[in-house]
A and B are shown apart, each in its own frame.
Chain A
Amino acid sequence: MDTAEKLVQMLIAVALFGGVMGFILLVVGRVRGRTDLVQSLAFVAPAVLLLAVGLLYPAARTAYQSFFDRTTEAFVGLDNYSALFERDDLLIVLRNTLLWVLVAPVTATLIGLVYAVLVDRSRFEAFAKALIFLPMAISLVGASVIWRFMYEYRPDQQNIEQIGLINQFLVWLGFEPQQFMLNAPLNTFLLIAILIWVQAGFAMTVLSAAIKGIPQDIVEAGRIDGLYGVKLFRYVTVPSIRPALIVVLTTISIATLKVFDIVRTMTGGQFETSIVANEFYTQSLVRGNYGLGAALAMVLFVMVVPIVIYNVRQLRKADIR
């Protein structure tokens, strides 16, 4: 396909769905009256249909495959799941995933919160925020390339200069350069740092808005009670933005569980850095082991279930209707 062909295809796809929407509106417009049922069906059906075929059915199929062997031929019961908890390499995968979920959301949120408070109402607030925010626009692949330049190692020998900034600092300070990507479990934390780098901007934005939304009288009351500085932050600011904090934490947790790009690009899951999302890709698509891959996907799913339940309850409470 050449460029023109690709762009034409693109326009056709756009026109097609624009057309679908127009057609539905046209037809529904004709039926008029108060027949809400028919009309709403026409409005909801395309989306629901797509979700059923593109998400629900495949998800059910994955659940099914997780009880079968690599080519979905023989039923193996819970073998795929027990492998997850018995094979040493897969146990490391689970351990790393836990590390990611425990470290990344909390750290990113903390940094975002502190920074939001620090730059709040400062003269350069907008600019200062943009600096932290920008990594959100960068793909995790791009971010990984950026950080490869930070972590790169060259041996400490004559005529060889460091390329990675961190190792250069070590050399300047008189230490030996380190092979950061090789040293487990340090390497996992260094990969987590990349995600924190990306996600802190999200935390900062949401939390900054929340801080600005704290009602005047609450702050006033705190002041009357003699709270300033860190204490005001601790006893007034943080409790006031608790809902926003929870939103940020859960959102980043979900993002962390599913992150795959960083591990894939930085180490390919070698050197004991693999996580469930990466192992899923390797097993399902590279090794063609559908059974184990499906079990890994199910593990990811099970891990988000509590968050789903929590959020649905919040939604109900919020009394949207």
Chain B
Amino acid sequence: MNAVTTTPQAHGGPESTAVVSSAARARKRLSSPGASTAAIIIAVLWTLPTFGLLLSSFRPEDDIKGNGWWNWFTDPELTFESYREVLFGSQTELSTYVVNSIAITVPSVVIPVTLALLAAYAFAWMRFPFRDSLFVAMFALQIVPIQIALVPLLQIFVDVGLNGTFWPLWIAHSTFALPLAIYLLHNFMRDVPAELVEAARVDGAGHVKIFGTIMLPLIMPAIAAFCVFQFLWVWNDLLVALTFAGSTSDVAPLTARIAELVGTRGTEWHLLSAGAFVSMVIPVIVFLGLQRFFVRGLLAGSVKG
């Protein structure tokens, strides 16, 4: 998905709530037994598919192929065999693709952050011609489907001779992330009190100094928020990966490989289930660890996808 305007409680996040006792009471009315049941049903529906796959990934190959995961409860047998095979077996070698995913993701997060920080500062605190129009254009670009740029961009990379390396992936991901990054960071920088900036100016500080000593420390949470976004987006991306790396090459990431496995080894359920979980572990850890920042980023106005 992509960008969007700010929500009412924009930068606050859930913690910005004034707890209102009467409101709470009013809501309690809704939390009848029926409501609780409904909530539990939704929660189960949302959890069960993942749980089933997780359990499957630890079942022996013959069990997975022979019957459903719920049979585990009557026939509890666990093994790491599928993980061993999927990570290091010669047919899949997912460990290679884990490395690729990392190598793709880290620069694709860092590059747009560095470039966007500079641009966001300029949009927020500098004056230059066409600033506002440029900013609106930047904002609008968030929503443009990346499909519209993929094929010509691929042709550019081929012409320049960058194909087959990580560079096309890094550059593509960075470019597509810039509008959101700039918009997000700009919003946070605007929120820095003008008095702080003015005081620094009076003390003779230039833009570079203000950027380094006031802005950067203050918007660290925003940077973190964007990084989580961008990390998840790049790690989980399939389209950009398939376009610039294909599904079987030196530089293809996990998602492309798993998608290829589904096509080529669609009946090898043990490989699919373990493979899917290998691809999920890192983003889920990042996500749970940095959830606070992620939510803040979400509420700050946009989400990309």
Contacts and interface: CB of A to CB of B under 8 A. Distances in A.
Q: Direct contact between A and B in the complex (CB less than 8 angstroms)?
A: yes
A284 B239 CA distance: 12
Contact of A18 (B31, B114, B145): B114
A73 B258 CA distance: 36
Contacts of A161: 66-68, 71
A141 B144 contact: no
Nearest to A10: B103
A25 B31 contact: no
B149 A55 contact: yes
B26 A250 contact: no
Contacts of A135: 46, 50
A233 interface: yes
B236 interface: yes
Given A10-B166, A18-B114, A301 B144 contact: yes
B50 A146 contact: yes
Contacts of B279: 139, 141-142
Contact of B284 (A134, A162, A230): A134
B36 A260 contact: no
Nearest to B278: A142
Contacts of A13: 107, 110-111, 166-167, 170
Nearest to A121: B24
A45 to B, nearest CB: 9
A19 to B, nearest CB: 9
Given A265-B262, A314-B5, A111 B42 contact: yes
A149 B103 contact: no
Interface in B18-53: 18, 20, 22-24, 26-32, 35-36, 38-39, 42-43, 46-50, 52-53
Interface string A1-27: 101001101100110011011001100
Interface string B158-202: 000000011100111011101100100001001000000000000
Nearest to A260: B239
A168 B139 contact: no
Contact of B232 (A137, A168, A222, A247): A137
Interface in A48-88: 48, 50-51, 53-55, 57-59, 61-63, 65
B76 interface: no
Interface in A145-163: 145-150, 161-163
Nearest to B286: A137
Interface in B85-129: 96, 99-100, 102-103, 106-107, 110-111, 114-119, 121-123, 126-129
Contacts of B28: 121
B8 interface: yes
B139 A315 contact: yes
B43 A132 contact: yes
Interface string B60-82: 00001111111100000000000
A186 to B, nearest CB: 18
A86 to B, nearest CB: 22
A17 B111 contact: yes
A258 B149 contact: no
Contact of B147 (A9, A63, A146, A300): A300
A62 B235 contact: no
A208 interface: yes
B238 A261 contact: yes
B134 interface: yes
A200 B118 contact: no
Contacts of B20: 216, 219-220
B148 A301 contact: yes
Contact of B119 (A36, A44, A215): A44
A57 B48 CA distance: 45
Contacts of A65: 151-152
B70 A48 contact: no
A173 interface: no
Interface of B: 1-9, 12-14, 16-18, 20, 22-24, 26-32, 35-36, 38-39, 42-43, 46-50, 52-53, 56, 64-71, 96, 99-100, 102-103, 106-107, 110-111, 114-119, 121-123, 126-129, 131-132, 134, 136, 138-141, 143-153, 156, 165-167, 170-172, 174-176, 178-179, 182, 187, 190, 206-209, 211-212, 232, 235-239, 242-243, 250-251, 255, 258-259, 262-263, 269, 272-273, 275-277, 279-280, 283-284, 286-288, 291, 295, 298-299, 301-303, 305
13 contacts: A10-B107, A51-B178, A118-B42, A137-B288, A138-B283, A162-B68, A213-B12, A254-B1, A254-B2, A257-B145, A265-B259, A297-B145, A301-B144
Q: Which 5 A-B pairs have the closest CB atoms?
A: A255-B1, A54-B175, A139-B236, A137-B287, A58-B149
